[in-house]
Amino acid sequence: MVGVELSEERRRGIGVALNEADWVGITVEPAGHRVTVAFDVLTSPAREARTELVLDGVGRVAASLRHGRWDDPAAPVQPFGLGELPGVVRGFGGCPIYGWEFIDPPERDWLEWRDRLSLDVAFRPAPGRHVLELFQEGDTEPPRHLDLRVWFDALRVTRGGAELPVQEFIDGGRRWWNALWAGDPRTGGTGIAPVR
């Protein structure tokens, strides 16, 4: 299992590179202890945006699909199986993720939904050294919300089927956000505007 060391600086950088990315898919390989999560990321210079985070040494996958707003403690929880997870993610239509903290985030969000699980599968006794936490909010009526947490040991980044150095991935995301904040017109068309 080969992956990059996830220092605090690198975790923050991955958060920048993933912020506002569209979460478009997920593949789970229980026998291989691997989860691959696909995103369309914001990167500069503009290039193929489809990027995958490949998580190896996965020990546990937990998810909560709730029919209601994210903050509704009475929202009904819909159970589903591990094989249904890719369809559940696709069912949100590739909504953006945001919040800047995706790798080893603070526990506060997990504490809100850990007792309301739709899915909780352990692949091995030890869960993993790191955590990836994502969510999707459906723009539907009634609203629905998906939280996902994956415990893993190693992370790689791929684009177009080839491995991409993690630092290159981070640098592309940082350049895009710096360009947005500088008013670069090449960041237009995303619906994201810099806060002034």
- What percent of the chain has pLDDT above 70? 96
What 3-state class would DSSP assign to 181? helix
Please report whether residue 30 resides in a domain. Answer: yes
Q: Over range 62-87, report the average pLDDT.
A: 93
Residue 76 carries which side chain, given as an amino acid letter?
P
pTM across the whole model: 0.92
Those residues whose C-beta lies under 8 Å from the C-beta of residue 120, and which sit 6 or more positions away, are 60, 61, 62, 63
Domain total for the chain? 1
Average pLDDT, whole number, for the chain? 90
Please report whether residue 83 resides in a domain. Answer: yes
Please report whether residue 63 resides in a domain. Answer: yes
Laid out side by side, the sheet with 130-138 consists of 119-122, 60-66, 144-152, 130-138
- Least-confidence region, from 81-85, 145-149, 158-162: 158-162
Please report whether residue 133 resides in a domain. Answer: yes
Please report whether residue 195 resides in a domain. Answer: no
- How would residue 195 be classed by pLDDT, with cut points 50, 70 and 90? low
Residue 159 bridge partners (DSSP): 51, 162
Give CA–CA dist 147/181, Å, rounded: 29
Burial of 58 (0-12, 13-18, 19+ CB in 10 A): buried
Q: Is pLDDT of 62 > 80? A: yes
Whole-number CA gyration radius for the chain = 16
Please report whether residue 181 resides in a domain. Answer: yes
Task: Give the DSSP letter of residue 48.
Answer: -
Q: Which domain holds residue 12?
A: 8-185
Could you report the per-residue pLDDT of 76-132, keeping only the tens digit for each? 999 999 999 999 999 999 989 988 899 999 999 899 999 999 999 999 998 899 999
